[in-house]
């Protein structure tokens, strides 16, 4: 567990949390996964997601994508003022700049001394949307998105997907209504690059440990699918 600094394409730099698997080295390299944040920044929960991926043999890296607005911010969904701040940051966030920062992170990880050169991504909420767009706009090796918000408005970009993409959809998601879910299924389910998993009776953020919508059973299923998918496509 460490922190690195990544140079941005348009100048400046941003920090990223990195969790390394056991026994990784230049002689025993590992594939990498960019862990893309929710609207709460690179907080304890996201760092734990990195540690979880590292325990499965991936170099996991969570870049601070809010650095242009407020660097190093860590927020909680349990504190009303912080929750409101998170929504404010979401409203100010530049999606296109975020993708550029993900590309910059990918470049650094691909060239890391302990990396195999293969890089995937995995994101939640805002990060789920960004994982989808990373699949559409970059040469990432594999992407996983959990309950991404706003994907239904970006389906025209799906024709650009060249590497495998897995999306986890919460059927009771308060931020992705049934009509939007139908659009996502209709727009993506016929692609041989895309795997869609829907989870009945769970709401947004059902894998956020400690969150009010956390569903342990569904989270275990989704996470097992993600690990198998990333292993198949990156290792």
Q: Determine contact, residues 169/198, Cβ cutoff 8 Å.
A: yes
| Residue of 64, 77, 101, 173 marked active site | 173
SS3 161: coil
DSSP string for 109-122: HHT-TTEEEEEEEE
Three-state SS at 24:
coil
Cα dihedral 23, 27, 30, 34 sign: positive
Catalytic-labelled residue, pool 77, 101, 204, 223: 204
Q: How far apart, in whole angstroms, are the C-alpha atoms of residue 34 and residue 189?
A: 24
Q: Which helix (H) or strand (E) holds 219?
A: helix 216-234
* Residue ranges in 116-215 assigned as alpha helix (H): 126-137, 178-188
Query: Is 173 marked active-site?
Result: yes
Nearest to 147, CA basis, from 173, 116, 120: 173
Strand locations in the chain (E):
2-7, 13-19, 30-36, 59-63, 115-124, 142-146, 165-170, 194-199
Supply the angle between the helices 126-137 and 95-110 in degrees, to the nearest 10.
70
d(CA 228, CA 235): 10
Catalytic residue list: 173, 204
């Amino acid at each position: 567990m460490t922190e690195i600094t990544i140079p941005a394409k348009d100048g400046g730099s941003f920090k990223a949390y990195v969790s390394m698997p056991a026994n990784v080295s230049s002689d025993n390299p590992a594939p990498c996964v960019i862990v893309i944040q929710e609207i709460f920044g690179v907080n304890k929960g996201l760092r734990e997601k990195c540690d979880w991926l590292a325990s499965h043999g991936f170099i996991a890296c969570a870049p601070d994508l809010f650095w242009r607005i407020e660097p190093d911010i860590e927020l909680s969904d349990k504190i009303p003022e912080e929750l409101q701040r998170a929504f404010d940051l979401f409203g100010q966030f530049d999606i296109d700049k975020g993708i550029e920062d993900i590309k910059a992170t990918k470049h650094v990880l691909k060239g890391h001394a302990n990396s195999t050169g293969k890089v995937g991504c995995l994101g939640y909420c805002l990060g789920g949307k960004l994982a989808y767009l990373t699949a559409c706009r970059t040469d990432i090796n594999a992407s996983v998105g959990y309950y991404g918000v706003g994907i239904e408005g970006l389906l025209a970009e799906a024709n650009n997907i060249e590497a495998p993409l897995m999306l986890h959809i919460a059927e009771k998601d308060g931020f992705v209504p049934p009509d939007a879910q139908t659009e996502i299924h209709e727009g993506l389910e016929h692609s041989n690059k895309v795997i869609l998993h829907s989870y009945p009776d769970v709401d947004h953020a059902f894998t956020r440990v400690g969150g009010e919508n956390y569903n342990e059973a569904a989270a275990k299923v989704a996470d097992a699918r993600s690990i198998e998918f990333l292993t198949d496509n990156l290792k």
